[in-house]
Amino acid sequence: SVPWVRAVAVLPGTGRCYSLCCLPAEVAVEDREKFLLDFVEDNEVLRLGDMSIRLNLQAGIYRLTGGDQEPFIHMLSAADIAYNEIQGTAAVVGVYDESLQQGLRVRKQIEDCMEQALRDQEFQVWCQPKYDIRTHRLTGAEALVRWHSSVMGDLMPGTFIDVFEHNGFILRFDYYMLEKICQLQRQRLNDGQKIVPISVNQSRLHIKEENYLDKMQRIADRYKLPAGCVELELTETAFGDFEQSEQRGHAVHVIKELKKMGYSISMDDFGSGYSSLALLQTLPMDIMKIDRSMLVSAEESPRAKSILRNIVDLGQRLDMEVICEGIETPEQEKFLLELGCRYGQGYLYARPMPMQKFADFIENQGETPV
């Protein structure tokens, strides 16, 4: 019932072939989306002779704004941006808006600047202390990056880590952070100063990276730090499709080898995904780092509280060090103490601080005033 025009076009430079539908603007938004959903459904199965192939079709919608003066390539690119946004998700239809275009501009700028930034040491290592929440004594820290870009100003990791993961730059970047922490620990040991274990985040891409273990061994050999001085934080998404036994076996191998080299292994953001328990069963991790979202939910719902209590207990029974991240209030601390959680990290104790400031902080015992 919706009038439409159909054509096929190729977007230059992408090699992608598109099926185009142009719908009059007066068609209501719901009808437009319904039309596309029906279209996708009708064309989902491709028949070639006796064979039928199931296709994963997705569509991007762009609403014409520039009247008949708008270049065709612009319309096509905008629909393509909307389509790209839903790739890898279960959504069938994505709708373009200006913020998507803005997001792409930022992404491009980040990519243009990142190599030079690494050479110019624009990435600064900050450290956030970790505490024993029963005694308020400093027990360690997590290294977190801050980017002081000469072009874009100060950036938080939430703005650029995803971009680095997307284009693979994160691999080199993570080694840079790891080396900075190893240098700090080695220097302090040489100078006879006190040290605490410091964790660095490791992107999920390392698990599949060629020569990951060789590179990590070389770093371990170069700094010769006592075991446990450096921890690696990996999120559960690092282990990808854990259902497949080959991948599972590989992940177990990687973890065991890293431990032999003296790195402790921490499961970051525990409880934020869906496969946490399966991973616990198989991977010999040393530390369970409970995601802030679990803490927040547990404060609100008795069921979530019961789950958190049992998770803390489970971690301890598995001989893991259990730490909760994102503790902001004394009430949360009290709550965690009741649940038997021993370690914590969060704004209540200390915010992330530049690495050098953290080095001074250790000297003063780093005891929190709370």
Query: Is 345 a residue that touches Mg ion (CB under 5 A)?
Result: no
| Rounded distance between C-alpha atoms, residue 340 and residue 334, angstroms | 10
Return the number of other C-beta atoms located less than 10 Å from residue 110's C-beta: 22
- The item of ligand C2E, Mg ion, none sharing an interface with residue 128, based on CB under 5 to 8 Å by kind, is ligand C2E
- The item of Mg ion, ligand C2E, none sharing an interface with residue 203, based on CB under 5 to 8 Å by kind, is ligand C2E
The residue from 82, 95, 117, 170 that contacts ligand C2E (CB under 6 A) is: 170
If DSSP codes are grouped into helix, strand and coil, which group holds residue 232? strand
Query: Is 182 a residue that touches ligand C2E (CB under 6 A)?
Result: no
CA atoms within 13 A on the CB side of 308: 29
Query: Is 355 a residue that touches ligand C2E (CB under 6 A)?
Result: no
- List the interface residues with ligand C2E, window 11-70 (CB under 6 A): none
Shortest Cβ 197–ligand C2E spacing (Å): 15
Residues 370/330, Cβ–Cβ less than 8 Å: yes
Helices assigned H by DSSP within 43-120: 72-86, 98-119
CB-nearer residue toward ligand C2E: 64 or 177: 177
Shortest Cβ 233–ligand C2E spacing (Å): 6
| CA triple 198-234-85, angle to 5 deg | 125
> What angle, 0 to 180 degrees and rounded to 10, lies between the N-to-C axes of helices 157-167 and 98-119?
80
State residue 271 phi and psi, 5-degree precision.
Answer: 95, 0
**Burial grade of 78 (CB within 10 A; 0-12, 13-18, 19 or more):** buried
CB-nearer residue toward Mg ion: 269 or 286: 269
The residue from 203, 264, 266, 276 that contacts ligand C2E (CB under 6 A) is: 203
Rg from Cα positions in the chain: 25
Query: Is 233 a residue that touches Mg ion (CB under 5 A)?
Result: yes
State the binding string over 277-306 for ligand C2E (x if CB under 6 A, else -): ---------------x--------------
CB-nearer residue toward ligand C2E: 139 or 345: 345
Query: Is 185 a residue that touches Mg ion (CB under 5 A)?
Result: no
Which of these ranges, 21-29, 132-140, 242-250, 321-329, lies near ligand C2E under the rule CB under 6 A?
A: 321-329
Give the total residue count for the chain: 370
CB-nearer residue toward Mg ion: 289 or 305: 289
Residues 126/144, Cβ–Cβ less than 8 Å: yes
Return the number of other C-beta atoms located less than 10 Å from residue 35's C-beta: 18
- The item of Mg ion, ligand C2E, none sharing an interface with residue 145, based on CB under 5 to 8 Å by kind, is ligand C2E
CB-nearer residue toward ligand C2E: 95 or 145: 145
Q: Give residues in contact with Mg ion (CB under 5 A).
A: 201, 233, 268-269
Q: Give residues in contact with ligand C2E (CB under 6 A).
A: 128, 144-145, 156-158, 161, 170, 174, 177, 201, 203, 233, 268-269, 292, 325-328, 345-347, 352
